[in-house]
Every structure is written in C-alpha cells, then in structure tokens.
Amino acid sequence: MKVSGAAPKDQRILAAAEKIFSMYGYEKATLDAIIKLADVGKGTIYKYFGNKEQLFYHLVVGRNEAFVKRLRQAVDAQEGLKDKLCAYFEEFISFYYENNSLWQIICFEMLGGSNACRIQKVDGDYQVLPRYSQLEIKAEAKEQILRYYSILDAEYVILEKILLDGINAGILKAPNDAEATSKYLFFGVAMSIFNPTQNLIEKFNAKEISLIIVDRFLHGECVPETI
C-alpha cells in the first residue's frame, strides 16, 4: 500500500497526494491518508509544500506546465485550422483521460467551488470580482482563485488562438466570439471525458476521437441538405 522506496520524499508525497485527491476530492482528502500512503512524516509535507492547498497546487501546476508545452508543440507542428485542432484535441483527450479526477477538482472545487466571485479578463489582466455585494473577498482567496484559473486559462488560450486565426482567415463563421466558442468546445470535450457513459477511449484512440470531434465542430452534426 505504501508508495515508499528509493524515491525522494517530495516525489513520494506528490504520488500519494495524486491518488488520495483523486479518490476523495480536495475537501475530503486528508493529509493523514497522504502521509500514510507516502510513508513520510506529517511535518514533511509542511516542509516541502507549506500546506494542503499548496500541495494540491504544486501537484497540479507541474503537470499543467508539461501539458501546455505539449499542447503548444503539437499545435505548432501543424499547419491549418483543422490539423491544429486535431493535434490539440489529441493531446487534450489523452491528458484529461489520464488526469480526470485531478482536473475535475480544479474545475470546480478550486474555481467554481468558491462561487462568491467571478473572474473577468480585461486586456490580459484578470480581475476577481465579488458576486455578492455584501461579501468581501480576502486578498489570499483572490490570489488562490486566480492561480487555478490560470491553469485552465493557459490550456484554452491555445485553443482560442487557433479559433481566432480561423475567424481572421475567414474560415470560421462571423460574427463569432473566439473566447465563448473555445470555452464551449473546451468544456464540452472535458465534461465528456469527466463524465463518460461508455468508455469511448477504450474503443477508439485519442486520435480517432479527436478527428470526430473536430469534424463535427467544423461541419456540424447535421447531414447536409437535410435541413
């Protein structure tokens, strides 16, 4: 049951944290469960990561960086809207399938979970606004929300760019809102992975699914000439 061994303690903690957070969600995951699995002392977590929240963030931010890098490279290696989209979603599907639980936590508990506020992007700068006037949001809370928002933002900003280029190239319908569209596409796919009815990915591989998604996105679900 232990993840211990020759691996350095911080790696062991991260591995254990992934498992426990994935199994129980952020709130219900306990540090006791993590240290037991990682076979380290409780203080060690605080030495390396500061506290529970930062442990989770650390776990997630590292993965995200590598993922965003892969996304960028895959997209850059392709030419044309369609191929870029396919490349994007091939990486996307693999990653989200792999990090299903962790990314669900980001989506909600760390983002929407604190629904007391709303994020606005103004000229590339983010603002955290309170949704309920009577409630003041602490600076720390704002900072935390922004941190998780940035993670997802880094992912779909790439998609947004692809779509924006498509709009500018006259390939995508105008009037169109690249941000709204990319979010719809992004989260639609993400949720299909979070919430699978049948494990599509076990029948098809990421590339095949990606092709279908992009085809339907571009040309619609409707058989031509029927409506």
Partner DNA sequence: GATGAATGAGGGTTCATTCAT
Partner DNA sequence: GATGAATGAACCCTCATTCAT
Residues that bind DNA (CB under 7 A): 8-10, 28-32, 35, 39-44, 46-48, 51-53
Q: Which residue has the tokens 């030495």?
A: 47
Q: Binding residue for a second copy (CB under 8 A) from 6, 8, 195, 202?
A: 195
Q: For residue 106, which of 140, 156, 69 has the smallest C-alpha distance?
A: 156
Please count the CA atoms within 13 angstroms of the CA of 154 that sit on its side-chain side.
18
Partner in contact with 23, chosen from DNA, a second copy, none, beta carbon below 5 to 8 Å by kind: a second copy
Q: Which of 206, 175, 214 is nearest to 97 (CA)?
A: 206
Closer Cβ to a second copy, 47 or 69, answer by number: 47
Tell me which of a second copy, DNA, none is bound by residue 47, counting a contact when its beta carbon lies within the kind-specific cut-off of 5 to 8 angstroms.
Answer: DNA
How many CA atoms lie less than 13 Å away from 148 in the CB half-sphere?
25
The upper half-sphere exposure of residue 196, i.e. CA atoms within 13 Å in the direction of its Cβ, equals 12
What tokens does 26 get?
């952020």
Give how far Cα 135 sits from Cα of 17, 84, 115, 117, Å: 32, 43, 11, 9
List binders of a second copy among 3-32 (CB under 8 A).
Answer: 19, 22-25, 27-28
Positions in 25-64 near a second copy (CB under 8 A): 25, 27-28
Shortest reach from residue 167's CB to a second copy, in Å? 9
Report the nearest approach of a second copy to the CB of residue 184 (Å).
Answer: 5
182: closest CA among 198, 200, 166? Answer: 166
Query: With respect to a second copy, which residue has the nearer C-beta, 19 or 147?
Result: 19
Binding stretches for a second copy (CB under 8 A) = 1, 19, 22-25, 27-28, 81-82, 100-101, 104-105, 107-109, 111-116, 118, 120-121, 131-132, 134-135, 163, 166, 170-173, 176-177, 179-181, 183-192, 194-198, 200, 213, 216-223, 226-227
